[in-house]
Amino acid sequence: MGLANKVAIVTGGGRGIGQAIALRLAREGAKVAICDVQNSEETAARIEQLGGAALALKVDITVESQVKEAVETVLSEWGRIDILVNNAGITRDGLLMRMQESEWDAVLDVNLKGAFLFSRAVLRPMLKQRQGRIISIASVVGLMGNPGQTNYAASKAGLIGFSKSLAREVASRGITVNCIAPGFIASDMTDALNEAQRKALLDQVPLGEIGRPEDVAAAVAFLASDDARYITGQTINVDGGLVMH
């Protein structure tokens, strides 16, 4: 599954799942640009400690000029872009009755518009190369819904529809576009759950445990590799069996 000589961009790579993805792609041999509003340097330093090549870029993915500048920087440093991972995402939970317009907009802006801006920005180099991988981190919530997360679910379901449409637009040019839908993955949020909450959550998961960021990273590494050349427009669940298609 080697990614030697490949260049990857990981949004939201400063911590959590994005950091695990960046580290895994680097271990596979890719050069990795971390685009985050915070902590990009920390992930880049860890990649360099592993002997890999990294670029730490401070980018707000909702701002077109910052996205364009980041893509230009990667191209001027490394000359190509093979893999884009749209991972950055936020939540602003609340029941719809009480949801503020600002909470709706913030989630749609980061989770969906950010992926649109970055995907559009990398298409030109990928089209020229006649090769590329665009992988977006959606969520099982986009497939099954979740009370209190109408904005988040809409953004993640949106990412899936976006990816299928883009997959059809660029398939003939050697570019694949896929999503990963994680279920419950260990994070600051799941660490804060009490025993009863944890049990209620795990009762829904056939494999009986919370996933790790590395489980998501492994699926990204596969989709990014040449082994996944014949897979496009798909959503792969990494959820311990929570949702079965």
- The minimum distance between CB 130 and ligand NAD, in angstroms, equals 29
- Residue 54 parent element (H or E): strand 54-58
Burial 18-51, CB ≥16 within 10 A → b, else e: bbbbbbbbbbbebbbbbbbbebbeebbebbeeee
53-57: long-range pairs with CB below 8 Å, 24+: 53/26, 53/78, 54/22, 54/26, 55/31, 57/33
Q: Which is nearer to ligand NAD, 3 or 216 (CB)?
A: 216
Closest Cα to residue 185, out of 122, 126, 239? 239
Task: Please identify, among the stretches 1-9, 82-90, 143-151, 161-169, the one whose residues bind ligand NAD according to the rule CB under 6 A.
Answer: 82-90
Name the active-site residue from 104, 118, 152, 184.
152
Q: Is 230 a catalytic residue?
A: no
Q: Which is nearer to ligand NAD, 60 or 105 (CB)?
A: 60
The CA distance from 139 to 91, in Å, is: 12
215 contributes a contact to ligand NAD by CB under 6 A: no
Q: Other C-beta atoms within 10 Å of 144: how many?
A: 14
243 contributes a contact to ligand NAD by CB under 6 A: no
Q: Other C-beta atoms within 10 Å of 199: how many?
A: 10
* Residue in the structure block whose two tokens are 């994070």: 187
Q: Which of 3, 8, 10, 17 binds ligand NAD (CB under 6 A)?
A: 17
87 contributes a contact to ligand NAD by CB under 6 A: yes
Q: Which is nearer to ligand NAD, 118 or 225 (CB)?
A: 118
Q: Which of 22, 32, 139, 143 binds ligand NAD (CB under 6 A)?
A: 139
75 contributes a contact to ligand NAD by CB under 6 A: no
Q: Which is nearer to ligand NAD, 35 or 81 (CB)?
A: 35
Which residues are identified as catalytic? Answer: 152
Residue ranges in contact with ligand NAD by CB under 6 A: 11-12, 14-18, 36-39, 59-62, 87-90, 110, 114, 137, 139, 182, 184-185, 187
